[in-house]
Structure 1
Amino acid sequence: MSYTEELLREKFPAKQDVVTEITNLEAILNLPKATEHFVSDVHGEYNAFDHTLRNGSGNVKQKIIENFGGRLTPRNIQEFATLIYYPEDKLVYRKKHVATQDELDQWYLNTIARLIEVLKITATKYTRSKVRKAMDPNYVYITEELLYNDRQELDKRNYYNQILHNLVALHQADEFITVTCYTIQRLVVDHLHVIGDIYDRGPAPDKIMDTLMNYHSVDIQWGNHDIIWLGAVSGSALCIMNLLRICARYNNLSIIEDAYGINLRHLSMFAEQNYTDVQAFRPKTVEDSEVIRPDERKQITQIHQAVAMIQFKLEGQICKRRPEFDTENVALLDKIDYAKGEVIIDNKKYPLACECFATVDPKDPYKLTAEEEKITRSLLDSFKNAPKLHKHLDFMMDKGSMYKCYNGNLLFHGCIPVEKDGSFRVFKFNGKTYEGKSLLDFFEKKLRKAYGEPDITDDLATDMLWYLWQGPLSPLFGKHAMTTFARYFVADKDTHLEKKNAYYSLRKEEWFCRKLLQEFGLNADQGHIINGHTPVKKGHQPIMANKKMIVIDGGYSKAYQPTTGIGGYTLLYNSYGLQLVTHHPFTSKEDAIKNGRDILSTKRVVNQELKRQTVADTDTGREIKEKLQLLRNLLSEYR
């Protein structure tokens, strides 16, 4: 008898126990497939991300329209939807705008009855036990009595109505409304996929991580920006410097200091002593961000230069240490003629547009000064010992992966490195070769090793995290090189060019997408590839390759919205098929509460299932079928 069979025998010791479980599981297989929700490249934009989760990419409002479309005006439908999104805030707002207590009590009664109707719709896909788990424990009894009894039945009408009146009379209406709204949110989406890049650019990735840690069911496919944060706590000084440089570039150093409690005072004092106000290093700001004071802007600019120069030095060291990475073109400090103010890039001379090389020794340009060494060691210790950051990144490691195969679809952030003919590019290391799926498996293994050994700071696994950030065969980067130095110091934009891997052209081809699905063991006729990483520009299509490829990076980050023209894409996958959702740029939570402003724009059907999918058609269904076979074997023994 196998270990699994032994466990089943302990859990179901009698024949009737087995019969009951078989009956339960067989019934579950016939329930409609629950809704999956896909988001990508949220880049610290917590408010827009939080709103999207609360409205289920429009799913909540759709449920209301289905049930109340002929009974409520569009304005009242939006008011009701906003209540479900932000119950606490909307209750405060509502109570300020009612004339009498009697009017408020009537609103309570109407609202609770409507919420129960919406809850009935959202609960139909689930077993009673799963619905119960989604409820607030303090209100399970009341909610179930309202949910599973019909107000229209004459014998139960007075019973039902008395429960409603008691909730109001005993001053429980606010709390009941609030917890019911969150139960609806919980049931509208069964599982969330985050296709990478939670961190960088936006102001509040820490709040996004807090939200995900409290979410009922989620997985994460790491993005290139997530990797440098994982690298920072894994002992990679290079990842730390890249991370700090990006935070300074987008005026987000408060994430480091205020959100994660990492002190940058030593770095700031060093930067002030060695760097001036160079325009190329001034922080980027979006149109509606708060104005930066001149002294604060100068301080950020100086820190920006300090970490960039340490980064460039460390890049030179790693290129020498790891020739197998094939990243020699990244190290440029030894290609500078400091007297003439010129740099050689790809065998061509270019004048330097600006200079900030006070800490560089032209005779040994990649050597850190004593003070830079001290700052680097201090930052490594600080990142390694930041409790809140570790809590967030431990969760990201636990729920994360380089790719995921889920319900027949392939999910990954960046690309699968390929040649122009679609053949997989080969990464050679220690006499072994890695390509396609095996390449991603190899990188994930190294990442997990580095994360588990943060005190080892210069081993291959730790260096590999930097390679994942910008290496030419990194599936998270997907370009021939990162031209960071040239973007700061060279005016000629030809030097800024980062050539994309052939994957980004070939992903428009159906044959290529089918090849990738087969490489990962998926059904090429039924499966799809769901991608992030590259913002879909105005006029370009997010659905490609005869609907086999769906790219959902549409501009969550405000920095990308001028390019994309929208506020982001999300994807829904329910029992009827796949729907791509386009969002307007998010304004504010206050605007949503006061004016009912939603960010949902349009839904576009990607594919419509000919036969409505059930749990039996999912990965969960496959697991249930395997368990059913074991249970039937056990039942035969009992007989």
Structure 2
Amino acid sequence: MEHFDYSDRYLRLLSQKFRTVQEVSTELINLEAILALPKGTEHFMSDIHGEDEAFAHILNNCSGVVRDKIDAVYGDTLTAGERAELATLIYYPEHKLEYIKAHMTGDLGDWYRVTLRRLSEICRVVASKYTRSKVRKALPADFAYIIDELLNTDPGVKNKENYYNRIITSIIEINRADAFITAIAGVIKRLAVDRLHIIGDVFDRGPRPDHIMDMLMHHHSVDIQWGNHDMLWMGAACGSEACIFNILGISVKYSNMEMLERGYGISLRHLTNFAQKTYADGGCFAPKVISAMDREISGTDSIARLYKAVLMIQFKLEGQAIMRNPSFCMEDRLLLDKIDYQNRSITIGGVTYALEDCDFPTVDKNDPYRLTDEEQEIVSELRTSFAHSPRLQEHMEFLYRVGSMYLCFNENLLYHGCLPMNEDGSFAELVIDGKMYAGRDLMDILDQKSRFAWVNRKKGGEDERKAVDLMWYMWCGKKSPLFGRDRMTTFERCLIEDKSAHTEPKNAYYRHTADPAVCDRILREFGLEGEHAHIINGHMPVKIKDGESPIHGGGKMLIIDGGFSRAYQKTTGIAGYTLVYNAHGLKLISHEPFKSREDCVTRDDDILSKTEILESLPEPQKVADSDIGRELQTQIDGLKQLLAAYRSGTIKEANLRP
């Protein structure tokens, strides 16, 4: 542990807060004791893609942490069914209470007494790794005193037994048992996980990403590493028209327009009317059907025509962005001007493909990337809608506040996609404002430009335009760390039947990181090294059914995108990975598809999960071994030097006598 020598000026400033030897000593004792506590549990989730119910459930069960605590305490005394019911009560207290009371055959008062004792014991266990001060800060105001007393009173001690029982009895007699159960269940879930890491892609595909954002905004400790889908929404909120129409295209494709309209108040009426009058039919633009429930809606020709209208505007806006930014080197994505209308074909990369549709009445063959007057009007209206949606702007502000391109935390390097590489394994360079950036420098400048776009989103100048264009590039550009592929083939997948045109080759990063030495080089690029350092990624779904593994680079890199989104689950074979890092090591959890909250409440059906121990530490980690511990040690060093200054007379103690 590195120690610092603090200046006299710093120590004098510190003396204003800790004015006497006694005050310094008290704080030193407190901080030194905290260092000896177990390291807090970290919970990693990735690629949630709007699946709000599955996300809420895994957030509630903390990827099995809550169930592990129940089993540890009651594994020998309660049946599997009783433990499952207790777990469900903690996950969904209000709904489970309603169900239990409706089906109760015994005495409800007795059930309350037993349940309150059990919940108090579980809460005592999850609180045991924290200071009493930290636990108190986590308690809800209405029941803070009562929960604190229950947690710190041993019901087995004879002198306190009646006191403990009286608290339980009073809660029941004054009809506060339901509210108390809800409150203590919340405390258990809060204390079970010390920090939540979201490794990108909250948005798109699933039904309610806005609900997920609401949950994250109420979480006690969360950070987010931006994914390409998150960047798409951030760019849209900053005014990128290309980002806006990519969002619309995904929303229509996955039959999810209701989320835009009800969740964020963005009306698609003008766009829908335009699509119906402009396009005779939807042709090959039928949106993706992801379940039988969606088939009736998404199979209609009116939705296909809307999708076609959105994509034609999207292709034009993207073409304009490419031509404005030659440094993007994306001229190969300029496709509207390559269409051979007479032969209903297009030549891409020297290969000619038949087109399934050539009915594009809004495309001027002489100026294919120019919007029609009505298209421009629609684009302007939607840009204003995104800019003036209070809830959307609030969610994006939160993404900027707790998010970043990457995070170094407790020896782990977290980022969503990749660190772009060339075929030879060197870091790929991207030109931004005439300067080359690669590796960590590329991540830093992209983070900086994204924040510049947000802060200056209302100015609309040339620098702001370049910044929002760069955010669109991060969504789909060849050297984008968030995308990690050579190209995005939306045009080909919609209009060309030949699947050979649909391929999106992965960046060389995904091949090179099979080598542990390359993973170590990446970690060193970010100032991390050591046997317990890891790269934690999302973004690329791991296809378990095809034999793929989430573990790369000899265990140095973990890819935890296992298919949270229903749209991916047939491809991956599972319904997502999560990662838990506690004092004892790293655990990778793979999840089966989540059925529903109703099944969980009525049948105590938890998500079926499988745990793989990735790394067991020889000795449990303490707070002293964490980043927080290193910060505390720095404070301790300063306090010890202040204590020495008081004792040597270099700095005078304050006179606290009246």
Task: State whether TM-score is above 0.5.
Answer: yes
Are 1:599 and 2:607 an aligned pair?
yes
- Residues 6-56 of structure 1 show CA distances to partners (whole Å, capped at 9, x for unaligned) of 553232222211110000000000000000000000000000000001001
Counterpart in 1 of 2:144?
A: 140
Matches within 5 A, 1:517-532: 517-532=523-538
The letter for the 2-side match of 1:369 is T
Once the two structures are overlaid, the 10-residue window that deviates more, 397-406 or 517-526, is: 517-526
The letter for the 2-side match of 1:479 is R
The letter for the 2-side match of 1:383 is F
Question: Alignment partner of 1:541: what SS?
Answer: coil
CA distance in 2, matches of 1:298, 1:203: 22
Matches within 5 A, 1:387-466: 387-455=390-458, 456=460, 459-466=465-472
The letter for the 1-side match of 2:473 is Y
Question: Alignment partner of 1:193: what SS?
Answer: strand
Counterpart in 1 of 2:387?
A: 384
Counterpart in 2 of 1:590?
A: 598
The letter for the 2-side match of 1:626 is T
> Contact (CA 8 Å) 1:338, 1:362: kept in 2 or not?
no
Counterpart in 1 of 2:273?
A: 269
CA distance in 2, matches of 1:277, 1:591: 41
CA distance in 1, matches of 2:359, 2:435: 42
Are 1:217 and 2:225 an aligned pair?
no
- Residues 578-597 of structure 1 show CA distances to partners (whole Å, capped at 9, x for unaligned) of 00011110000000000111
Relative distance call for 1:500 and 1:388 in structure 2 (3 A) is: same
Counterpart in 2 of 1:565?
A: 573
CA distance in 2, matches of 1:169, 1:501: 64
Counterpart in 1 of 2:45?
A: 39
Are 1:317 and 2:320 an aligned pair?
yes
Counterpart in 2 of 1:254?
A: 258
Residue 292 of structure 1: how far off its partner (Å): 3.2
Relative distance call for 1:50 and 1:543 in structure 2 (3 A) is: same
Question: Alignment partner of 1:572: what SS?
Answer: strand
- Residues 234-292 of structure 1 show CA distances to partners (whole Å, capped at 9, x for unaligned) of 11100001110011000111121110001111111111111233243222232253453
Are 1:234 and 2:238 an aligned pair?
yes
Question: Alignment partner of 2:479: what SS?
Answer: coil
Matches within 5 A, 1:85-124: 85-100=91-106, 103-124=107-128
> Contact (CA 8 Å) 1:39, 1:569: kept in 2 or not?
yes
Relative distance call for 1:180 and 1:288 in structure 2 (3 A) is: farther
Question: Alignment partner of 1:554: what SS?
Answer: coil
Once the two structures are overlaid, the 10-residue window that deviates more, 218-227 or 12-21, is: 12-21
The letter for the 2-side match of 1:581 is I
Are 1:361 and 2:364 an aligned pair?
yes
Question: Alignment partner of 1:566: what SS?
Answer: coil
The letter for the 2-side match of 1:163 is I
The letter for the 2-side match of 1:638 is Y
Are 1:166 and 2:170 an aligned pair?
yes
- Over the aligned positions, Cα root-mean-square deviation in angstroms equals 1.5
> Contact (CA 8 Å) 2:255, 2:294: kept in 1 or not?
no
Residue 557 of structure 1: how far off its partner (Å): 0.2
Residue 339 of structure 1: how far off its partner (Å): 2.4
Identity %: 48
Relative distance call for 1:487 and 1:523 in structure 2 (3 A) is: same
Aligned length: 636
Relative distance call for 1:390 and 1:21 in structure 2 (3 A) is: same
Relative distance call for 1:64 and 1:223 in structure 2 (3 A) is: same
Residue 321 of structure 1: how far off its partner (Å): 1.4
Relative distance call for 1:363 and 1:3 in structure 2 (3 A) is: farther
Are 1:509 and 2:512 an aligned pair?
no
- Residue 562 (structure 2) aligned to one of 536, 551, 554: 554
Relative distance call for 1:45 and 1:7 in structure 2 (3 A) is: farther
> Contact (CA 8 Å) 1:43, 1:556: kept in 2 or not?
yes
CA distance in 2, matches of 1:476, 1:276: 37
Counterpart in 1 of 2:288?
A: 284
> Contact (CA 8 Å) 1:518, 1:524: kept in 2 or not?
no
Question: Alignment partner of 2:270: what SS?
Answer: helix
The letter for the 1-side match of 2:410 is N
- Residue 17 (structure 1) aligned to one of 23, 27, 38: 23
List gaps (5 residues or longer) in structure 2. 1-6, 648-658
TM-score by length of 1: 0.97
> Contact (CA 8 Å) 1:278, 1:354: kept in 2 or not?
no
Once the two structures are overlaid, the 10-residue window that deviates more, 373-382 or 3-12, is: 3-12
The letter for the 1-side match of 2:227 is G
CA distance in 2, matches of 1:300, 1:448: 35
CA distance in 2, matches of 1:407, 1:331: 44
Once the two structures are overlaid, the 10-residue window that deviates more, 266-275 or 583-592, is: 266-275
Counterpart in 2 of 1:581?
A: 589
The letter for the 1-side match of 2:206 is G
Matches within 5 A, 1:473-552: 473-537=479-543, 538=545, 539-552=547-560
CA distance in 2, matches of 1:592, 1:433: 53
Relative distance call for 1:638 and 1:75 in structure 2 (3 A) is: same
Question: Alignment partner of 1:597: what SS?
Answer: coil
Are 1:374 and 2:377 an aligned pair?
yes
Counterpart in 1 of 2:338?
A: 335
Residue 427 of structure 1: how far off its partner (Å): 1.5
Relative distance call for 1:426 and 1:110 in structure 2 (3 A) is: same
The letter for the 1-side match of 2:88 is T
